[in-house]
Structure 1
Amino acid sequence: MTTVITKMITRICLPLVILFSISLLLAGHNNPGGGFIGGVMFASIIALAYVVYGLETIKRSFNPDWGKWFGFGLVLASFTAFAALPFGHNFFRSAVEFVHIPLIGEIELVSAGLFDIGVYFVVIGSLLSIFQMVGEDK
Structure 2
Amino acid sequence: MTTTITKTVTKICLPLVILFSISLLLAGHNNPGGGFIGGVMFASVIALTYVVFGLDYIKSFFDPDWGKWFAFGLILASLTAFAAIPFGHNFFRSAVEFVHLPFFGEVELVSAGLFDIGVYFVVIGSLLFIFKNVGDDE
The reply to whether TM is greater than 0.5 is yes
The aligned runs of 1:24-63 (5 Å cut-off) are: 24-63=24-63
2:74 aligned residue: 74
Residues 22-54 of structure 1: CA deviation (Å, up to 9, x unaligned): 000000000000000000000000000000000
Structure 2 counterpart of 1:125? 125
1:94 is paired with a residue of what secondary structure? coil
How far apart, CA to CA, are the structure 1 residues paired with 2:60 and 2:14? 17
d(CA) in 1 for partners of 2:63, 2:47: 13
Once residues 65 and 31 of structure 1 are traced to their aligned partners in structure 2, the CA distance between those partners, rounded to angstroms, is 31
Q: Counterpart in 2 of 1:99? A: 99
Structure 1 counterpart of 2:65: 65
CA distance in structure 2 between the partners assigned to 1:103 and 1:120 by the alignment: 28
- One-letter code aligned to 1:99: V
Amino acid at match of 1:64: P
SS of aligned partner of 1:61? coil
TM-score normalised by length of structure 1 = 0.99
- Give structure 2 stretches of 5+ with no counterpart: none
Instruction: Return the alpha-carbon distance in structure 2 between the equivalents of residues 93 and 80 of structure 1.
Output: 9
Partner of 1:84: 84
User: Structure 2 counterpart of 1:52, which letter?
Assistant: V
- Backbone CA RMSD of aligned residues: 0.6
What is the number of residues matched between the two proteins? 138
Structure 1 runs of 4+ with >6 Å offset: none
Secondary structure (helix, strand or coil) at the match of 1:98 reads: strand
Structure 1 unaligned residues grouped into runs of 5+: none
With the length of structure 2 as denominator, give the TM-score of the two structures: 0.99
Quote how far apart the aligned CAs of 1:137 are.
3.3
Give the letter aligned to residue 126 of structure 2.
S
Q: Offset at 1:104?
A: 1.2
